[in-house]
DNA sequence: AGATATTTGTTCGTATGTATC
DNA sequence: GGATACATACGAACAAATATC
């Protein structure tokens, strides 16, 4: 069960919690963050989880590989 | 940037502009009109874009396929 | 190579709450 | 009070990318 605050949207609360985990090292660089993991942990809809992920991506905290998932850290270079 | 008139609602202004594009051939039959394209171009909320689309649909100018988008022209028959 | 499963990408349908005019 | 407008949040369907068998 999750305790939601009423003064902020759910996707912001989720995004902030994940950001804290990244900054504390709970989610180290390279850690995989999937939409399903988020929806399962917080019991939210996929669209809501995607908003949180999009925000984290905009912040440069993660990058996303279609068909695979999102990873903690900066977008790696293409070349070897 | 968009210049909004004050004497009409935004969704009407958007709908009228799109209608003009359809009638002038800028948007030919089969042209895809998505909610996102509208919200991006005019900087309006999705609900507002949906009101414009609903109006165009009521006018018979477009038809909508859930999960795909709205297309210029009459609703096609189901059977091949 | 081919089929299948998983995951993200995209889009519409619907509903609710809030604020403004 | 009603119409308009925005943000949020749920669900559903299908497409595309990726990985596995």
User: Tell me, in Å, how far CA of B14 is from C1' of C17?
Assistant: 25
Q: Give the model confidence (pLDDT) of A18-37 as tens digits.
A: 999 999 999 999 999 999 99
What is each CA distance from A17 to B29, B30, B41, in whole angstroms?
47, 44, 33
Which tens digit of pLDDT belongs to each residue from B18-73?
988 888 888 888 888 888 888 888 888 888 888 888 888 878 888 888 777 888 88
The total of structural domains in chain B comes to 1
pLDDT in tens, A57-77: 989 999 999 999 999 999 887
Tell me, yes or no, whether A79 lies in a domain: no
> Which nucleotide is closest to the Cα of B43 by its C1'?
D6
Instruction: Reply yes or no on whether the pLDDT at A80 is more than 50.
Output: no
The reply to whether B1 falls in a domain is no
Neighbouring CB atoms inside 10 A of A14's CB total: 24
What is the pTM assigned to this prediction?
A: 0.74
Closest nucleotide over all strands to B70 (CA to C1'): C12
Q: In this complex, which protein residues place their C-beta within 7 A of any atom belonging to strand D?
A: A 9-12, 43-48, 51, 65-68; B 9-12, 43-48, 51, 66-67
Tell me the mean pLDDT in the region A27-54: 94
In a domain? residue A30: yes
Is residue A2 domain-resident?
no
CATH code of residue A22 = 1.10.10.10
> What residue numbers bound the domain in which A67 lies?
10-72
Alpha carbons within 13 angstroms on the beta-carbon side of residue B15 total: 20
- The better pLDDT of the pair A48, B69 is held by A48
Residue A35 within a domain:
yes
CA of A77 to C1' of C15 (A): 43
In this structure, is residue B31 part of a structural domain?
yes
- Report yes or no on B25 lying in a domain: yes
Banded model confidence at residue B80, pLDDT cuts 50, 70, 90: very low
Which residue places its CA closest to the C1' of nucleotide C13? B66
- Residue B62: its pLDDT value, please? 85
> Does any domain span residue A80?
no
CA angle B7, B9, B15 (to 5 degrees): 120
């Amino acid at each position: 069960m999750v305790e939601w605050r009423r003064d902020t949207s759910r996707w912001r609360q989720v995004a902030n919690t994940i950001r804290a985990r990244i900054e504390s090292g709970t989610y180290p660089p390279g850690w995989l963050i999937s939409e399903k993991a988020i929806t399962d942990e917080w019991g939210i809809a996929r669209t809501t989880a995607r908003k949180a992920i999009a925000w984290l991506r905009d912040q440069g905290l993660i990058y996303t590989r279609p068909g695979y998932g999102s990873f903690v850290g900066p977008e790696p270079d293409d070349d070897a």
